[in-house]
Chain A
Amino acid sequence: MKNQSLKNSSRRQFIQQSSALTGAFVIGMHLPLTSQAASGDAAKPALANAWVQITPNNQITLICARSEMGQDVYTSLPALLAEELNLPLSMIRVETAGVAPVYINAMLGGQITGGSTSVREAFDKLRIAGAATRTVLVQAAAQRWSVPAADCKAMNGKVIHSSGKSATYGELAADAAKLPLPEKPALKSPANFMVIGKETMRRLDTPSKVAGKAVYGIDVKIPGMAIASLAQCPVIGGTPTSFDASAAMKVMGVIKVVQISDGVAVLAKDFYAARKGRDALKITWNEGSNANLNNAVVRKSLEDGLSKKGAVIKTVGDANAAVANGKPLSAQYFLPYLAHSTMEPVNCSADVSNGKCRIIGPIQFQQGGQAVAAAAAGVKPEDVTIETTFLGGGFGRKLELDFIRQAAEISKAAGMPVKMLWTKEDDITHDFYRPMSIHKVDGMLGSDGKLVSMKAKMVSQSVTARAFPGFVKDGFDPFMVEGSNNITYEIPNLEITNVITDTGLRVGYWRSVSNALNAFAIESFVDEAAKAAGKDPVAYRMAALSKHPRAKAVLDLAVKKSGYVAGSKRFGVAQMECYDTYSACILELDPAASSTKVKKITFVSDCGITVHPDQARAQLTGGVIYGLSAALSNEITIENGRVQQTNFNNYPSLRQNQVPVVEVHLVPSQEKPGGLGEVGVPLVAPALANAIAAATGKRIRELPLKA
């Protein structure tokens, strides 16, 4: 944990700056963390605080303040509240929060779902909120019955006295709401958990999702709304200079055509008509500064960046000192631009009217959305409401705010409610891409084969410099160092450097962010070092992990579960810590097939206390497959300012008949919870490259594989 101070100071800084930068003015749709009493209607909450609502007839609603995009927050976060309220999940319903300061993610400084932070940030906070509410329910019962609170117990929606007397939470809610919530209520011991960590726990959103009733952004309907398709400049950043809508207006079903700051929108009765109308538009574009951008130029700028000094973000010992009888080893790695490619293309609904703006959509950053919608609609932030639907995949794309602004601009210009829906082609060609990156690693092996020194330099654009520019100081982007400054290996002389370049496409946070970039470089390089030293890649890693017993334990279990055989040519290994979770990945190639056919991937994590084990495994499995799709075949390229890929045909995703067996194991742990949503992604690419090197002797240093 030697990097902890650096990480913590980065995080604090980020909280301060991102809060300031978003400029969001938040309003409380839900009540702050003090209970308020209501009276009368048995179906209306008699107790309502930021996290819990209880009606007199004992309907208990728990609030989920993170966006559900598949990662299970809709279940795992209410589970934390339910645990301390002593409620089985079957007794509760879940509601998604609006925008309010109480819902700010303390690890990110805004109401943001990202960075695999949801459970980590909420683990204490929501248990305290649940325990505080439980405490006042018990106190209300004790007062009603004139008995000591210590003789009363809250369980399964009732407070029960030792005499057998009982009252439901609902019957006590009005009285409990009048009591002050304790700030430091006693929390249950993990030994007494009845919800957290249980294999029997089920997702609360599954029934609605398999009935086709779950509402995603694309399913939103506002009375009187039109469906909008937005023509955007083929070069990202370009703007319309003039347009002719006469042919578009003749398309059956088209209602209106409006111009907004970065495009021309066709509003129609259905999406087909809107799209057909859009195709009939004649638009002249100012293509802007990226009109001549192409892949070779971006790559050249990264290669040029290798000779720049950059920002040294971690130093151990002296990586520049001479090593007597040292054996030098150098390698350079390359990763392409990537798109997020969610199943649900970008969309958003907006209703700007009467000085107010209502936004409904698949949103990962509610306060940012509130701020941009206010600016676009020309209303005060407190007059903007944000309603978050289910997200048909997020992966970081729906952290962006472009689509919220566009929907608000279109509604305002058209004077009617709209649902703006991008085509898949819009989605792939107008993403915020994972940055292209180049990594140069130089090492020196001692006489025993161990790495005596290592210098790792990463060159790429900075997402943070675009999204939160005030946070990048002196060339240091705290999200570029993920996967490098938390390196687990004991290397006595180490220097890690980042060089930020400007040239390129707009870039965004992509599931696992820089962990995937740096892990590919470092885990490939360590494998190359093992080979140069003539050592088994597992044993070589184990020898350098003495300071990280959790890292050794996951690698050890991965070896056992995968059937790894030292000296066998079928296996590739990788390991790392990210998001406070330690993981190891062992990938096995199919010896009967071509050299890149993956037979099985064994993935082992120690993610601390696991709230929902079944879905932890689901997240890790999904992350592995997401990472494998990218490693095998995904690449975004740009020519003449235009992204060349458009849809699943040329930006493919692994299919049912293409996925290998993925086996996930969790190491039981009582450490604090680690992240899960992104953890499965980064290790699969280096494990694959390492397996191919073992099988064929050919070292892959560039992705995608394009096998």
Chain B
Amino acid sequence: MAVSFTLNGKAVNFDGDPETPILWVLRDHLDVTSPKYGCGAALCGACTVHLEGSAIRSCSTPVSVTAGKSVTTLEGLTAKVGKALQDAWIEFDVPQCGYCQTGQMMSAADLLAKKKQPSSDDIKNAMSGNICRCGTYSRIEKAVKRAADKLA
């Protein structure tokens, strides 16, 4: 049974087990590898994408729920938001290994969509679902603030 949804503005189909988590449809069938597998249990946030504009953990969300809806990965953020985040991440040289960072940026995009000028506490709380084993948290916090300023 095929599932049809919109991925970064384009119509796509997945013809397979509808219980397949979105993450594996994106990575293994649609060759979109920016969402990462970290835990498979919605514990680490590396797989974060947006469903209808809100952050979800794609490792634990079946593709069936996307039917007729829009999924956005880092590549599909609006040019303005995507650039603000990437520029800020580059300015502070945030990544070390970098594996979690696409998920971090998708959570940041979700936060900035809901709160234009987040406080430090807002950032710490909103980003607490995204683990970074390299410990880049303070740079992430600075980059989110900088991206917010760029978008203001």
* Chain A interface residues (CB < 8 Å from chain B): 68-72, 202-203, 205-207, 209-216, 218-219, 221, 227, 252-253, 269-273, 276, 341-345, 390-395, 421, 423-425, 614-615, 618-619, 621-626, 647-649, 653-659, 661-662
Contacts and interface: CB of A to CB of B under 8 A. Distances in A.
Contact of A653 (B105, B133, B138): B133
B78 interface: no
| For the complex of A and B, 7 pairs with smallest distance between CB atoms | A212-B34, A392-B99, A625-B135, A70-B96, A209-B98, A70-B97, A270-B28
A68 B102 CA distance: 18
A621 B138 contact: yes
A158 to B, nearest CB: 28
Contacts, number: 189
Contact of B96 (A71, A213, A657): A71
B128 interface: yes
Interface string B68-86: 0000011100000000011
A399 B26 CA distance: 30
Contact of A622 (B44, B89, B96, B102): B96
A322 B105 CA distance: 63
B75 A212 contact: yes
Given A209-B98, A212-B75, A656 B90 contact: no
A272 B97 contact: no
Given A273-B20, A622-B135, A203 B95 contact: yes
B100 to A, nearest CB: 5
B122 to A, nearest CB: 10
B132 interface: yes
A681 to B, nearest CB: 10
A656 B123 contact: yes
Given A252-B17, A272-B20, A343 B97 contact: yes
Contacts of A626: 133-135
Nearest to A661: B138
B136 interface: yes
A421 B102 contact: no
Given A269-B16, A272-B20, A210 B141 contact: no
Interface of B: 16-17, 19-21, 24-25, 27-29, 31, 33-34, 36-41, 43-44, 46, 73-75, 85-86, 89-90, 93-102, 105, 123-125, 127-141
9 contacts: A206-B90, A210-B95, A210-B98, A212-B34, A269-B28, A270-B29, A344-B36, A424-B38, A659-B137
A430 B6 CA distance: 38
A392 B97 contact: yes
Contacts of B73: 212
Most chain B beta-carbon contacts within 10 A, residue among A203, A421, A626: A203
A286 to B, nearest CB: 28
Given A209-B95, A656-B128, A648 B39 contact: yes
B36 A343 contact: yes
B41 A253 contact: no
Contacts of B140: 656
A407 B127 CA distance: 35
Contact of A227 (B28, B43, B134, B136): B28
A272 B21 contact: yes
B96 A271 contact: no
A342 B105 contact: no
A206 B89 contact: yes
B44 A343 contact: yes
A211 B40 contact: no
Given A210-B101, A271-B24, A393-B99, A343 B93 contact: no
Most chain A beta-carbon contacts within 10 A, residue among B34, B73, B97, B130: B97
B50 to A, nearest CB: 14
Given A212-B74, A392-B99, A647 B128 contact: no
Contacts of B75: 212
B99 A657 contact: no
Contacts of A343: 36, 38, 44, 46, 97, 99-100, 131-134
Contact of B133 (A253, A393, A659): A393
